[in-house]
């Protein structure tokens, strides 16, 4: 219920931003722009979804950006340079990112190193590896790999339309990355809210020891969460590299972990853990992306891009906290019995 | 909960009258004015009115006991007096001066010290640092800069701490880190801290819940000493025996309201319980179920990991209630935790119904039907931020309440509501957050979680710690019922009264091992203490 | 380290890169050719880690072998300058290429002026938009030196400032809609992305949307900038709606020039870095006049790649690449 | 004593790195190189010291890098461009950074926003501000401000030597930034270990409720910690800008918060809070800096710089945790009953 309220709140925020920007420049709602915003929301949303699962455990994943760079670089390198088959490459990349998540999880649960430290080291290490393996050289897919590129370039249903699709379909087809995000979101929503794993995750996020005493394999649950985060980052890395068709090992994905976390925070997921809300994450990411877009369209100085983003996050979260406090006060008033209230009034 | 409140309101009026009368009498025979006079105190928390129009008076050198069920509002009232919580309304006078306390250091200035119900120490600091935390001894002169540069005077504070520790009977160096102390010792540090304030009012909120017999005696001596020096004491406990022993006067709360006061000569367990509960309840009946000779739980050559002592061997039969007695720090919790797979034992084998079970993790124990009700509800027993349903069914999702890894929500709610009915948990709704339940009801939720898993062996670590007589009664009845259902129970208890009254057999532990066993005909406080303090170590 | 049996009495000169990058394979070709033409043996070295220390050791080894000259692309000017000066004081002819150590007493710097390259880009824009028009600059960071110089070169050129080779030192502040040459051209905006190619692309998309009706040209100043612009324009299906100008020679850019949707690119010329460096050192070794200008700057102009010369340039690049690889193989130097 | 052990541990680690590097290339110990390492240690150490105080509270400060950029930019801008007097500028910058810390503290304590979120927004906002105010233009001090530059350029005692100092002094004088670090470290060590504030800080870091119940103004203590962190970041920003004599608002200070935190972590300060150890922070920072230097000298590929850093941090922290576990086991062993011991042996 509190969740519902929050979702409503951020949906309104999103709507407000959209409306204002549309008033400033109606082209904000043009098919072209909507498509772009959806595409970016899709790509960044995938990272946020993964991050969310780690955040629910009360942990944090700072390695996302570096994993994006590493998987992106390696994918292009293997397929385009080394001529490794697409299937094998994808398989290897999946394996690699899962392995990274596993390593994070093991270090955090078994060696008891704090998540912040483990994934911070990940942030340093993985980009270094990526840069080293390809000698800092930009990787790309060239003109080939069209099938694979459809993962990001194609649109639904346009691309799959029998014959030439009508104007409307062409304009308003949904970019594949966003479709992918939606599908993943639905799956994760079920996992989080309906599955046993989800219950265990939420319980553990709120009180790890109690969860263990209730016979939950807390370590396993945590490790899986980090594997989800890492593999989603990996998927993101692949899609980003395909979208741009080039990867710069030293530059791509930088700070993306922060965007991912920001998406979750704006989406109302507390970094304290024990709270999860997939819809919130999607809307949160959308807000962040729309904000960028709006700033550019509204012609606000690019230098302020980040400043505005920061401001909005901060205000959003603060308002959230303040609302909570007010709600608490209100509940106090309600739970006081009438005579007491009336005594207060007279006093 | 609300309907219950109506019921009690219905039953209180006449007692209220007696009480105010008693209140008057007490006040008149105290010549010198009140140290504390609180009138019409009310406190509201989200979802609960913790206190409603409560009056409390305290005279110089008086020991006032405050008793009441869980959630009656005792701690809240004390927190208000100690400036931890802010009263919603009401008037507080200290030495006749009306004051708004509102903050801890204000309370300290007024000379009011509170020993909290739960430990509040900083494990990373030394005993001395903790004792004087917030009131550090300052280095007298820092080259004229002492006004600005406020440095801690280690020597003085440790010297003074040493005296205080002697007073409360804790033989430990003042520079010992608190994290190296047992819970019992930590409690004594809390008391020393309260004494260090030289307050004119010292409030003890359930100080004995983790203290052993001797330590408790020590505390009473301290209280006596305070009293003789004209210090007033407020004493909260669920151990009504103690109350009778120390109190000059008893104030009884129920559901946040004062239901009566008893002057020294009126204090009897029955009278207190009557006012607490609004009715008489029968005395502890010694449990009278029959024990089968079938061994449910057998432990062979078991060595407790955190406190490795001589190997432990013991059997618990179906329908038997075996009580593990001992002083705090005896390692009983560690024993239970190791049995349950929280820590790995150094050595030892566990048999349930004759079959050996390998317990590497609680899940193994749970699957074998051996369940632990942990010592610390809030930390280990419950996910207090989650609702009642999920807490009761948490352990069941994996094997019982799910298909293909998807939770069967309907079935879960059915199980939960059944448990809530069976245990008569007092709540507004199943979706209520556990945090907002009172101690007793929280404990019932923990029990409910395990009953829904139909246990074979139940390990109960301090199952009645900090819960009131009524809740206790219900827990005992429940244990009785489980015994009849042939469940084997291993109960850890530090409350002598409880140990002697509920046990079919008493096993005493000391220094991580078993030092002896007592059969009903050998039951006596002396015997238990003797075994509990009998060291097995040579050299 | 590659060694080549010294042919009769030829002097030897050493050429060193700042790392093991493909970029330098082109240079290798130039080094070899110059070596043949000016009659010197060449030592070619790519520090595997791109480290000052590696460069240091190589130089010391070369000095020990009394080479007739050293050319180096300096990895870490601040830390290497004192050392380089020591070497120079020992009388070893030493010049820098590609990446300079301005504080040192080097003979000369063989390289390109980013400002000059910017002027060339400006000229290109004038060609593309002879009657004026509106353009957008995309770059990673506007406070990076090469970005400042390239951007300023463009503006000054279009403003018809008198020809200059070096950055005059005053930057036109970043404002929207900067009128140039009295409003003939307009620099609509300079979009920056903090070095994130993805943001370069999304910025480009937003710019395309916002200025679609008046946008005539986009130019990317960093190597990834133009590929990002191309990607955005292609996805939007507006690749033919405005002109694209580039810097450097990324695969996408060359392809774009060939396919006609990139107007031109200001490339770099590593081959010439190699060729000119060796030429100068060789002439010194033979006691001829290397013809070093007073400003110690030996210009290797940025070759401008356009539709006209793309085939030959691309062919040339391919040729240089294979020559370079051949040369490295002969020298037994492993390929990047 | 646990602390003593840890200090010993990391000191040994530092020594090992130094020795190995010196063996690889003796010039690592040349006055020139030693000076550089000391200078960098001084500059980065100042940031770590500030971060440490926040970490002791169990919080985190991600805004450090952006504060470095902001103060650096504004200092150069005000003094060199706007011709504001040095004294006034320094005063304003001090005020500004204290204000930032105050804002962080208030949002964290009063509005109850998590430190990670507050300072993450700071990270976004302050750099944006810096870039906006100077329109993304590089700032510098030119050839003037020699007095101020002595804060970083001068060496002790060389610079203050009457007449021409002897060879030895010239070679082995200590760069001013390191001197500044030492002085600050001594002050902070006293504050942390001897002062009332330090006690309160450690207390609330370990158990905030206990601190509050003891009448400590926990909010005030926390706020001050964030003010310390911000003002130290500000000082760092000034010194960095003077050292390089140029500030790039969009680039300078990037990721410095991570280095600062890394320094603390390597120095053995747990992010869980309640532990503080100034000596550790200094050594930790030194390790990070020496490591960089060594990587270059040892001829490890620059791309691996970060990877190696990450590895060392990770290994260091893991070893620390493992040692803790072993120590705990040993403690139990000692308290164990002989018969139990002998049984364990056989089991
Ligand atoms: N911080 C809080 N927020 C909400 N409700 C609270 C809070 N603290 C106490 N309560 C509620 O106020 C009521 C009185 O609590 P209190 O702790 O004073 O009872 P108590 O008499 O001390 O019980 P016990 O004997 O178990 O300690 C209970 O219903 C409790 O749930
Ligand atoms: N040195 C210690 N530091 C922290 N906690 C401790 C320490 N020693 C014991 N404890 C905890 O204090 C509680 C009581 O200590 P212990 O288990 O040793 O005694 P016990 O026999 O279980 O007494 P009780 O169960 O009555 O508390 C247990 O939860 C135990 O984990
Ligand atoms: Mg209480
Ligand atoms: Mg116990």
Q: Decide if B8 contacts B254 (C-beta within 8 A).
A: yes
Residue D65, strand partner residues: none
- pLDDT (average), residues B134-138: 91
Ligand 1 pocket, residue B237 CB under 6 Å = no
Asked, for residue B116, whether it belongs to a domain, the answer is no
Same domain, residue pair B365 and B486: yes
Same domain, residue pair B433 and B498: no
- pLDDT (average), residues A182-208: 95
Flag whether residue A335 sits within 8 Å of chain C, measured between CB atoms.
Answer: no
The predicted structure's pLDDT at residue D299: 66
Total domains in the fold of chain B: 4
The predicted structure's pLDDT at residue B119: 86
Q: Distances from the Cα of C23 to the Cαs of C26, C29, C44, D215, in angstroms? A: 6, 11, 14, 67
Residue B295, strand partner residues: B317
Give the predicted TM-score (pTM) of the model.
0.88
Residue with tokens 């040095």: D86
Ligand 2 pocket, residue B326 CB under 6 Å = yes
B409 CA to centre of own chain: 34
> By CB neighbour count within 10 A (0-12 exposed, 13-18 middle, 19+ buried), where does B115 fall?
buried
Is C332 strand, coil or helix? coil
Going from the Cα of B209 to the center of ligand 3, the distance in angstroms, rounded, reads 11
- Residue D85 gets the label, from left (phi > 0), alpha (psi -120 to 50) or beta, of beta
Residues of C in contact with D248 (CB under 8 A): 141, 143-144
Same domain, residue pair B316 and B358: yes
Interchain pair C141, D251: CB under 8 A: yes
Asked, for residue B348, whether it belongs to a domain, the answer is yes
Interchain pair A136, C207: CB under 8 A: no
Minimum CA–CA partner of D197 in chain B: B150
- Cα–Cα distance measured from residue A140 to residue A57, given in angstroms and rounded to the nearest whole number: 36
Interchain pair C141, D32: CB under 8 A: no
Backbone angles phi, psi at C50, to 5 degrees: 60, 45
Q: How confident is the model at residue B276 (pLDDT cuts 50, 70, 90)?
A: confident
Same domain, residue pair B438 and B476: no
Q: Distances from the Cα of A183 to the Cαs of A51, A176, A188, in angstroms? A: 17, 11, 9
Q: How confident is the model at residue B140 (pLDDT cuts 50, 70, 90)?
A: confident
The predicted structure's pLDDT at residue A46: 98
Q: Decide if B418 contacts B393 (C-beta within 8 A).
A: no
Looking at the CA of B327, name the nearest ligand.
2
- Cα–Cα distance measured from residue C148 to residue C152, given in angstroms and rounded to the nearest whole number: 6
- Cα–Cα distance measured from residue B201 to residue C279, given in angstroms and rounded to the nearest whole number: 96
D→B contacts (Cβ < 8 Å), by residue, are: 190, 194-197, 199-200, 202-203, 205-207, 209-216, 274-275, 332-333, 335-341, 343-344, 346-347
**pLDDT less than 70: residues of chain C:** 1-8, 49, 78-79, 334-336
Q: Decide if B338 contacts B514 (C-beta within 8 A).
A: no
Is C126 strand, coil or helix? helix
Same domain, residue pair B144 and B177: yes
Do B and C share at least 3 CB pairs under 8 Å?
no
Same domain, residue pair B52 and B105: yes
Q: Which of B329, B460, B466, B498 to mutate to test the pocket of ligand 2 (most atoms within 8 A of CB)?
A: B329
pLDDT in single tens digits along all 347 residues of chain D: 467 888 998 999 999 999 998 998 887 898 878 988 899 999 999 999 999 999 999 999 999 999 999 999 999 999 999 999 999 999 999 999 999 999 999 999 999 999 999 999 999 999 999 999 998 888 989 888 989 999 888 888 888 888 888 888 888 999 999 999 999 999 999 999 999 999 999 999 999 999 999 999 999 999 999 999 999 999 999 999 998 888 889 888 999 999 999 999 999 898 989 988 999 999 999 999 998 888 767 767 667 878 988 998 899 889 888 988 898 888 888 878 888 888 777 76
Q: Distances from the Cα of C91 to the Cαs of C38, C67, C292, in angstroms? A: 21, 11, 17
A91 CA to centre of own chain: 23
The predicted structure's pLDDT at residue B183: 76
Nearest to D299 among C54, C79, C148 (CB): C54
Interchain pair B347, D200: CB under 8 A: no
For chain A, what is the radius of gyration of the CA atoms? 22
Going from the Cα of B75 to the center of ligand 3, the distance in angstroms, rounded, reads 4
Nearest to D137 among C79, C82, C171 (CB): C171
Interchain pair A217, B397: CB under 8 A: no
Interchain pair C174, D136: CB under 8 A: yes
Closest CA to C178 of C158, C160, C193: C158
Neighbours of B405 (CB within 10 A): 13
Q: Decide if D274 contacts D200 (C-beta within 8 A).
A: no
Torsional sign, CA C17, C19, C25, C26? negative
Interchain pair D343, B303: CB under 8 A: yes
The predicted structure's pLDDT at residue C3: 43
Closest CA to D101 of D42, D57, D134: D57
Tell me the per-residue pLDDT of C96-154, one tens digit each, with 9 for 90 and over.
999 888 888 999 999 988 999 999 999 999 999 999 999 999 999 888 888 999 999 99
Please report the DSSP string for C224-275 in residue order.
Answer: THHHHHHHHHHHHT-TTTSEEEEES--HHHHHHHHHTSS-EEE---HHHHHH
Query: Rounded to 10 degrees, what is the CA torsion of B156, B157, B162, B168?
Result: 140
Please report the DSSP string for C172-227 in residue order.
Answer: ----SSEEETTTTEEEEEEEE-TT-HHHHHHHHHHHHHHHTTT--EEEE-STTHHH
Tell me the per-residue pLDDT of A28-63, one tens digit each, with 9 for 90 and over.
999 999 999 999 999 999 999 999 999 999 999 999
Instruction: Look at residues B424, B448, B472 and tell me which one is the last residue of a structural domain.
Output: B448
Same domain, residue pair B364 and B421: no
Tell me the per-residue pLDDT of B186-236, one tens digit each, with 9 for 90 and over.
989 999 999 998 889 999 998 887 777 778 888 999 999 999 999 999 999
Q: Distances from the Cα of B402 to the Cαs of A274, B397, B411, C23, in angstroms? A: 21, 6, 9, 61
Interchain pair D296, C51: CB under 8 A: yes
B389 CA to centre of own chain: 25
- Cα–Cα distance measured from residue C192 to residue C202, given in angstroms and rounded to the nearest whole number: 11
Neighbours of B20 (CB within 10 A): 13
Q: Whose CA is nearest to atom 1 of ligand 1?
A: B45
Asked, for residue B223, whether it belongs to a domain, the answer is no
* Contact residues for C274 (Cβ-Cβ < 8 A; gap 6+): C15, C26, C27, C28, C29, C30, C31, C32, C34
Same domain, residue pair B15 and B81: yes
Asked, for residue B374, whether it belongs to a domain, the answer is no
Mean pLDDT of chain A: 91
Asked, for residue B4, whether it belongs to a domain, the answer is yes
Q: How distant is the Cα of D302 from the closest Cα of chain C, in angstroms?
A: 6
Instruction: Look at residues B423, B448, B473 and tell me which one is the last residue of a structural domain.
Output: B448
Interchain pair B89, A209: CB under 8 A: no
Which residue range forms the structural domain that includes residue B433? 380-448
As a 3-state breakdown, chain A gives helix, strand, coil percent values, each rounded to 5, of: 75, 5, 20
Question: Which domains are present in chain A?
Answer: 2-300 (1.10.3470)
Interchain pair A246, C227: CB under 8 A: yes
Asked, for residue B143, whether it belongs to a domain, the answer is yes
Q: How confident is the model at residue A132 (pLDDT cuts 50, 70, 90)?
A: confident
* Contact residues for B92 (Cβ-Cβ < 8 A; gap 6+): B36, B37, B38, B39, B41, B80, B81, B98, B99, B100, B101
The predicted structure's pLDDT at residue A12: 93
ipTM confidence: 0.85
Ligand 2 pocket, residue B182 CB under 6 Å = yes
Looking at residue B207, which CATH number applies to its domain?
Answer: 3.40.50.300
pLDDT surpasses 90 at B415: yes
| Strand ranges inside B196-352, DSSP E | 201-205, 232-236, 249-254, 257-263, 295-303, 312-317, 321-325, 347-352
Q: Whose CA is nearest to atom 16 of ligand 2?
A: B329
Going from the Cα of B493 to the center of ligand 4, the distance in angstroms, rounded, reads 8
Report the Cα–Cα distance between both ends of chain A, in Å, rounded. 35
Can you tell me which atom of ligand 2 is nearest the CA of B306?
A: 18
Q: How confident is the model at residue A187 (pLDDT cuts 50, 70, 90)?
A: very high
Same domain, residue pair B487 and B391: no
- Residue C260 gets the label, from left (phi > 0), alpha (psi -120 to 50) or beta, of left
pLDDT surpasses 70 at B26: no
Can you tell me which atom of ligand 2 is nearest the CA of B334?
A: 17
Interchain pair B380, A209: CB under 8 A: yes
- The Cβ-side half-sphere exposure at B131, using a 13 Å CA radius, reads 30
Same domain, residue pair B362 and B466: yes
Q: Decide if C23 contacts C319 (C-beta within 8 A).
A: no
Nearest to A140 among C196, C207, C251 (CB): C251
Is D262 strand, coil or helix? helix
Ligand 2 pocket, residue B492 CB under 6 Å = yes
Q: Between A2-24 and A305-335, two packed helices, what is the crossing angle to 10 degrees?
A: 140
Q: Decide if B464 contacts B284 (C-beta within 8 A).
A: no
Asked, for residue B248, whether it belongs to a domain, the answer is yes
Going from the Cα of B517 to the center of ligand 2, the distance in angstroms, rounded, reads 21
Q: Decide if A202 contacts A222 (C-beta within 8 A).
A: no
Ligand 2 pocket, residue B329 CB under 6 Å = yes
Asked, for residue B427, whether it belongs to a domain, the answer is yes
* Contact residues for B213 (Cβ-Cβ < 8 A; gap 6+): B327, B496, B525, B529
Same domain, residue pair B275 and B285: no
The predicted structure's pLDDT at residue A336: 66
Ligand 1 pocket, residue B74 CB under 6 Å = yes
Please work out, in degrees rounded to the nearest 5, the angle formed at the alpha carbon of residue D53 by the alpha carbons of D50 and D55. Answer: 110
Q: How confident is the model at residue B279 (pLDDT cuts 50, 70, 90)?
A: low
Minimum CA–CA partner of C53 in chain D: D297
* Contact residues for B145 (Cβ-Cβ < 8 A; gap 6+): none
For the record, the structure tokens of A300 come out as 């606000």
Tell me the per-residue pLDDT of A228-280, one tens digit each, with 9 for 90 and over.
999 999 999 999 999 999 898 888 899 999 999 999 999 989 898 998 899 99
- Cα–Cα distance measured from residue D189 to residue D281, given in angstroms and rounded to the nearest whole number: 11
For the record, the structure tokens of B262 come out as 């008893």
- Cα–Cα distance measured from residue D54 to residue D64, given in angstroms and rounded to the nearest whole number: 11
Backbone angles phi, psi at D323, to 5 degrees: -55, -45
The predicted structure's pLDDT at residue C276: 95
Is B190 strand, coil or helix? helix
The predicted structure's pLDDT at residue C335: 64
Same domain, residue pair B285 and B338: yes
Minimum CA–CA partner of A195 in chain B: B406
Looking at the CA of B238, name the nearest ligand.
1
Q: Decide if B365 contacts B340 (C-beta within 8 A).
A: yes
Q: How distant is the Cα of A132 from the closest Cα of chain D, in angstroms?
A: 5
Flag whether residue D255 sits within 8 Å of chain C, measured between CB atoms.
Answer: no
Q: Which of B333, B373, B496, B515 to mutate to test the pocket of ligand 2 (most atoms within 8 A of CB)?
A: B333
Percent of residues, chain B, with pLDDT higher than 90? 51
The predicted structure's pLDDT at residue B4: 38
Going from the Cα of B75 to the center of ligand 1, the distance in angstroms, rounded, reads 7
Q: Decide if A139 contacts A71 (C-beta within 8 A).
A: no
């Amino acid at each position: 219920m509190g969740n519902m309220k929050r979702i409503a709140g951020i949906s309104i925020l999103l709507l407000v931003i959209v409306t204002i920007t549309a008033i400033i420049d109606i082209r904000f709602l043009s098919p072209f722009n909507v498509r772009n915003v959806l595409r970016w929301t899709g790509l960044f949303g995938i990272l946020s979804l993964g991050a969310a699962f780690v955040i629910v455990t009360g942990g944090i994943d700072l390695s996302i950006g570096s994993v994006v760079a590493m998987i992106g670089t390696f994918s292009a390198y293997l397929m385009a340079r080394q001529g490794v088959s697409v299937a094998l490459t994808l398989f290897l990349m999946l394996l690699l990112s899962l392995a990274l998540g596993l390593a994070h999880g093991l270090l955090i649960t078994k060696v008891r190193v704090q998540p912040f430290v483990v994934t911070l080291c990940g942030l340093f290490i993985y980009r270094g590896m990526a840069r080293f393996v390809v000698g800092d050289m930009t990787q790309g897919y060239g003109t080939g790999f069209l099938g694979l590129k459809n993962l990001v370039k194609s649109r639904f249903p346009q691309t799959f339309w029998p014959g030439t699709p009508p104007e409307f379909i062409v304009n308003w087809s949904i970019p594949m990355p966003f479709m992918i995000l939606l599908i993943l979101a639905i799956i994760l929503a079920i996992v989080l809210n309906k599955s046993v794993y989800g219950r265990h995750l939420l319980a553990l996020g709120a009180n790890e020891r109690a969860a263990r005493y209730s016979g939950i394999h807390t370590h396993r649950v945590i490790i899986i969460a980090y594997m989800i985060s890492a593999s989603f980052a990996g998927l993101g890395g692949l899609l980003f590299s395909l979208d741009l068709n080039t990867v710069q090992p030293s530059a791509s994905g930088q700070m993306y972990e922060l965007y991912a976390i920001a998406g979750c925070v704006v989406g109302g997921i507390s970094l304290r853990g024990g709270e999860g809300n997939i819809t919130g994450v999607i809307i949160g990411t959308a807000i962040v992306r729309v904000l960028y877009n709006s700033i550019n369209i509204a012609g606000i100085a690019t230098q302020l891009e980040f400043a505005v983003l920061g401001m909005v996050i901060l205000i959003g979260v603060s308002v959230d906290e303040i609302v909570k406090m007010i709600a608490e006060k209100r509940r106090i008033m309600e739970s006081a019995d009438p005579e007491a209230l009336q005594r207060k009034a007279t006093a | 909960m609300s309907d219950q409140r109506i019921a009690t309101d219905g039953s209180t009026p006449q007692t209220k009258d007696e009480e105010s009368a008693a209140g008057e009498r007490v006040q008149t025979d105290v010549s010198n004015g009140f140290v504390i006079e609180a009138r019409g105190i009310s406190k509201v928390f989200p979802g609960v009115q913790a206190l409603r129009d409560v009056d409390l008076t305290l005279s110089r050198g008086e020991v006032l006991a405050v008793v009441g069920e869980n959630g009656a509002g005792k701690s809240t009232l004390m927190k208000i007096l100690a400036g931890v919580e802010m009263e919603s309304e009401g008037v507080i006078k200290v030495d006749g001066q009306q004051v708004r306390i509102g903050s801890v250091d204000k309370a300290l200035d007024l000379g009011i010290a509170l020993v909290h119900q739960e430990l509040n120490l900083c494990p990373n600091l030394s005993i001395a640092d903790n004792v004087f935390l917030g009131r550090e001894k300052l280095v007298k002169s820092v080259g004229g800069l002492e006004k600005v540069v406020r440095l801690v005077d280690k020597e003085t504070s440790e010297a003074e701490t040493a005296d205080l520790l002697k007073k409360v009977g804790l033989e430990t160096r003042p520079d010992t880190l608190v994290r190296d102390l047992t819970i019992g010792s930590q409690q004594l540090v809390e008391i020393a801290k309260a004494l260090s304030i030289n307050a004119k009012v010292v409030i003890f909120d359930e100080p004995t819940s983790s203290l052993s017999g001797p330590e408790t005696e020590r505390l009473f001596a301290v209280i006596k000493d305070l009293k003789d020096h004209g210090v007033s004491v407020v004493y909260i406990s669920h151990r009504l025996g103690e109350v009778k022993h120390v109190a000059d006067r008893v104030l009884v709360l129920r559901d946040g309201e004062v239901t009566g006061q008893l002057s020294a000569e009126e204090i009897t367990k029955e009278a207190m319980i009557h006012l607490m509960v609004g009715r008489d309840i029968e005395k502890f009946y010694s449990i009278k179920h029959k024990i089968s000779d079938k061994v449910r739980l057998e432990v062979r050559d078991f060595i407790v990991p955190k406190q490795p002592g001589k190997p432990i061997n013991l059997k618990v039969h179906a329908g038997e209630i075996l009580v593990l007695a001992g002083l705090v720090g005896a390692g009983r919790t560690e024993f239970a935790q190791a049995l349950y797979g929280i820590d790995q034992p150094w050595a030892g084998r566990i048999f349930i119904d004759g079959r050996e079970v390998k317990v590497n993790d609680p899940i193994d124990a749970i699957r074998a039907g051996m369940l632990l009700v942990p010592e610390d509800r809030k930390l280990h027993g419950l996910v207090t931020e989650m609702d009642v349903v999920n807490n009761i069914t948490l352990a069941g999702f994996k094997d019982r309440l799910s298909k293909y890894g998807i939770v069967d929500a309907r079935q879960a709610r059915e199980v939960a509501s059944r448990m809530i009915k069976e245990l008569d948990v007092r709540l507004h709704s199943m979706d209520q957050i556990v945090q907002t339940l009172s101690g007793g009801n929280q404990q019932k939720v923990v029990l409910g979680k395990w009953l829904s898993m139909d246990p074979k062996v139940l390990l109960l670590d301090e199952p009645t710690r900090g819960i009131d007589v009524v809740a206790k009664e219900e827990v005992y009845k429940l244990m009785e019922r489980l015994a009849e259902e042939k469940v084997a129970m291993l109960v850890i208890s530090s409350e002598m009264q409880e140990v002697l009254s509920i046990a079919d057999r008493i096993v005493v532990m000391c220094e991580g091992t078993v030092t002896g066993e007592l059969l009903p005909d050998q039951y006596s406080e002396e015997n238990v203490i003797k075994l509990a303090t009998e060291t097995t170590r040579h050299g | 380290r590659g060694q080549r049996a010294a042919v009769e009495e030829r002097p030897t000169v050493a050429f060193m890169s700042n790392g093991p990058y493909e970029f330098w394979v082109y240079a290798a070709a130039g080094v070899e050719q110059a070596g043949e033409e000016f009659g010197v043996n060449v030592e070619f070295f790519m520090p595997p880690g791109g480290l000052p220390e590696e460069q240091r050791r190589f130089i010391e080894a070369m000095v020990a072998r009394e080479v007739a000259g050293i050319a180096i692309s300096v990895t870490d000017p601040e830390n290497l300058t004192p050392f380089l000066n020591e070497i120079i004081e020992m009388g070893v002819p030493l010049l820098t290429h590609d990446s300079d150590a301005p504080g040192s007493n080097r003979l000369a710097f063989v390289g390109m002026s980013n400002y000059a390259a910017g002027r060339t880009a400006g000229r290109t824009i004038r060609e593309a938009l002879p009657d004026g028009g509106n353009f957008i600059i995309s770059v990673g960071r506007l406070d990076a030196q090469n970005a400042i110089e390239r951007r300023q070169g463009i503006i000054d050129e279009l403003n018809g400032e008198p020809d200059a080779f070096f950055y005059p030192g005053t930057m036109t502040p970043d404002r929207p809609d900067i009128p140039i040459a009295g409003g003939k051209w307009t620099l609509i905006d300079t979009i920056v992305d903090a070095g994130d190619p993805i943001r370069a692309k999304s910025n480009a998309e937003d710019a395309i949307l916002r200025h679609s009706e008046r946008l005539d040209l986009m130019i990317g100043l960093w190597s990834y900038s133009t590929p990002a612009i191309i990607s955005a324009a292609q996805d939007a299906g507006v690749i033919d709606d405005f002109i694209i100008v580039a810097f450097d020679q990324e695969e996408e850019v060359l392809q774009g020039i060939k396919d006609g949707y990139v107007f031109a690119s200001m490339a770099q010329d590593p081959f010439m870095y190699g060729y000119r460096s060796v030429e100068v050192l060789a002439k010194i070794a033979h006691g001829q006049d290397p013809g070093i200008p007073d400003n110690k700057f030996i210009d290797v102009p940025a070759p401008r790649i356009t539709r006209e010369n793309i085939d030959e340039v691309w062919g040339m690049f391919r040729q240089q690449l294979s020559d370079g690889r051949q040369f490295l193989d002969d020298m037994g130097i492993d390929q990047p």
